[in-house]
Chain A
Amino acid sequence: MSTSTIKSRPVHGTLVPDPTGRHHIVVGEGPGSAPVLRMLADPGFPEHPRHVLVAPDPASGPAGLAALSACGVAEIVPDVPSLLRRLDALLGGCRMGTRLYAAGSESFLGAVVKIAAEHGLLDDERRTEHAGSAARRVHCTHCRHVNEHVTANLVACGGCGRTLLVRDHYSRRLAAFMGVQADAEQPGATPALQEVFP
């Protein structure tokens, strides 16, 4: 398997309020609604000013957001692409002092962090918590095709057909993990297939 000594692999934590912030934006996807609810209930989390946007994930659908809908403080967005567009527009009008919190799948968190970085947010202005799928977006370093929802250590590239080894090497700019030809060093020597990113 790919090595885990690679430092670019995103490390997620637990969503807790950052009391030094002056404006708080919370985004969640599917199972990420549980950490979002937990943080909203934290007495240390300020009532205002804050924005809370949550989208269903394709697997569990809107039903998975029932608890969050019931509490009435979150805006339910139809899907992740709409949420990301809303987030982009929202950050465009924000001032220094803003904090961003995100909970959801590995792919969702990657997409959120990418948008945040484009607005100049650095590591100490955002917090992420993984909830749901660990499936990776995998960027083929040979043809640049991005393979969505990769759950195994090997994937047949949808762009060039090469068998790619999914590495821990992560690009924040692309919000994707790097995939390299699995038998590039020794033709024919491909590691065993393992489901490692459920």
Chain B
Amino acid sequence: MTPAATIPVVVREVRPVTPLIRQFTLAREDGLPLPAFSAGAHVVVVMPGPARTLRNPYSLMGTSADLSTYDIAVRLSETSRGGSRFMHEAVAPGSKLAITPPVNLFPLDKLARRHLLLCGGVGITPVSAHVRELVHGCVPFEVHCGARSIEHATLALELQAIAPDAVTIHLDMPGPTMDVGSILAEQPLGTHLYVCGPGGMIENVIATARAAGWPQSHLHWERFTAPPAGKPFEVTLSRSGKRITVPPEMSLLEAIEAAGVDAPFLCRGGACGQCETTVLALDGTLLHHDVYLSADQKAAGDRIMPCVSRADCRTLVLDR
């Protein structure tokens, strides 16, 4: 995937759905239909930020039944690196953006006999697409949405209207009230579990499921890690013959892109593995933040996922 493959889109509608979440309706600038996608897919939105280009992944909320528009929802992050703030403050109906074609790293499992979907906060966005697909099928499903309060539960209420028997909303009072243990305890054989939400929620749900004997093949989660900030470091790109500095607030991938070097990516969240880059020389330590490489691969120090990972080093030479 390269920046050249992006699709120019125009923002048709901006809708504040909760105090923290805005929903954006996007259409192709040329009016043609958007690419078809399956539930769970995301696009990367390319934002012409004031200082630099920002690229954030957002899940598509609708279905392929209507490809005239895509819907995404963006939660304003308290620790925004600029992306969610840009979407909330600088984007209005008529704004022009670009998106990558959809990629699905969080699909529904076609072999499932039953689907159990748990989401928290803005993690509801891929689940919105899943539910809209599942209501047309014959496989039973069950959805649990966690929200801070009823005014933060607009998207969950919309899902409940689509599938009243399947969707349960759990409001914090003040902490999370979703009893994951009892939800998981009585699920029939052949159930697949999907989780999307804050990192702590995903870890808790997956750990609870494993303790209850759920095998890996039935567990699915999606977590887009925002690239963590860190100390600046210098990198030599051997193939393109460039030497760049990665500033504290910029990811390695963003710095490579800012230097005009075409680098592959899909999720930009350390999950998919697309941006894997070979480390040719290193004097220092790689700071791996991805969930893609195994512990052994991380320890070997011969490759890095530049979308989220950094380095504390005197020398780093990448095959890029």
Q: CB within 8 Å of B: which residues of A? A: 20-23, 91, 94-99, 117, 119-125
Contacts and interface: CB of A to CB of B under 8 A. Distances in A.
Contacts, number: 53
Interface of B: 111-114, 184-191, 210, 212-218
A20 B213 contact: yes
A94 B185 CA distance: 11
B213 A23 contact: yes
Contact of B214 (A91, A96, A117, A121): A96
Nearest to A97: B213
B116 to A, nearest CB: 9
Given A20-B210, A96-B189, A96-B191, A123 B184 contact: no
A124 B213 contact: no
B217 A120 contact: no
A99 B190 CA distance: 12
Contact of B188 (A96, A122, A124): A96
B187 to A, nearest CB: 5
Contacts of A96: 184, 187-189, 191, 212-214, 218
Given A96-B184, A96-B218, A120 B190 contact: yes
A124 B217 CA distance: 7
B189 A98 contact: yes
Contacts of A119: 113, 189-190
A112 B257 CA distance: 53
Given A20-B210, A120-B113, A122-B111, A95 B217 contact: no
A124 B190 CA distance: 12
A125 B213 CA distance: 10
B215 A122 contact: yes
Contact of A120 (B112, B185, B212, B213): B112
A120 B214 CA distance: 13
A121 B216 contact: no
Contact of A22 (B113, B212, B218): B212
A21 B216 contact: no
Nearest to A125: B215
Nearest to A98: B189
A95 B111 contact: no
B259 to A, nearest CB: 43
Contacts of A125: 215, 217
